[in-house]
Amino acid sequence: MAVRVPSMELHRPPPSVSGVRGKSCLQKPFLVQAKRLEGLEKANPRSRGKQSLEQVKKRAPLIRGTVSPPLPVPGHITQPPYVGKKDAPEIASEIQMHDKVSIVHMKAACELAARVLEYAGTLVKPSVTTDEIDKAVHKMIIDAGAYPSPLGYGGFPKSVCTSVNECICHGIPDSRELQDGDIINIDVTVYLNGYHGDTSKTFLCGEVDEASKRLVKVTEECMLRAISACKHGTSLKKIGRRISEHAERHGFGVVDRFVGHGVGRIFHSEPMIYHQRNNMPGQMVEGQTFTIEPALSVGSIDCDMWDDGWTAVTTDGSLAAQFEHTILITKTGAEILTKC
């Protein structure tokens, strides 16, 4: 299941295996909404972001709360084939291509995911717990006759990912209350009529400082700039170049441990979408669907993983933000499927 990328193809020194706050992201393979790049050798810690950490309002380090049991799913709802299996499936080699019939189903799944994400964002307020958000998201998804794709994926215990402040991605909802000034990425994927729709957004909680708002704004801009470059025949590596150029222009670093992915009948498949500069081969093909989901950091672009095996946080505790859309490649551009 691990994805190995030769460092020479990433145009950067190989990453550090740091133990500052937990296990390095390189020490245990995992895969939920995006895939981690594993297998790189040890070197020096990296800090790509040029933003001063003092510009961001000081906040206490993220501390996990209590994780409640997984929520039940009615028996009549179709489950993805990985549910009930201990390990996450390997990344599928097949490209997710669509005809006129399948694209109708794909659009339905993506539109539902977008509505759920929009609703989840309305719940982001000080004192609300991420567990409460998970429960609300879970109910909305099953009420629509769909399955929350993260639930049971490689043992993931919740129906949505909630990543707060320095958590880059794959945060597990728990009893921690959101604080005034937090930022939180909510990552929603639904499985409807045999198709996955995948999307995420970073929301502001209460009164957020200007530096944090800027990180969130630039991260969304990076995703949209990358999408605007997509069309049939375009090189996939153009995505990483567009994102890197815009992030660096504003002094932020692009976290390179996580990649976008093909999505459709299968949750995670080729092509892998690299968000940093790279020399990976491949071109976009009309009718294929995949995600673009860059994560930017104010400071270090390296990450540590908590011992829950999922929660990935920046090694220096610096703020991170992420946005994601599922897109459909057309002859002349790309259609964003995960929007209301």
The per-residue DSSP string of 93-140 comes to -S--B--HHHHHHHHHHHHHHHHHHHHHHHT--TT-BHHHHHHHHHHH
User: Which parts are annotated binding residues for substrate?
Assistant: 170, 268
- Running DSSP on this structure, what letter comes out for residue 142? H
Residue pLDDT, tens place only, 168-218: 999 999 999 999 999 999 999 999 999 999 999 999 999 999 999 999 999
Quote the pLDDT of residue 57. 60
| H or E stretch covering 23 | strand 23-24
Quote the pLDDT of residue 202. 98
User: Which parts are annotated binding residues?
Assistant: 170, 187, 198, 261, 268, 293, 324
User: Which parts are annotated binding residues for a divalent metal cation?
Assistant: 187, 198, 261, 293, 324
What's the pTM value of the predicted model, to 2 decimals?
A: 0.88
For 80-84, what is the mean pLDDT? 97
Domain 91-336, CATH: 3.90.230.10
pLDDT-based confidence at residue 340 (cuts at 50, 70, 90)? confident
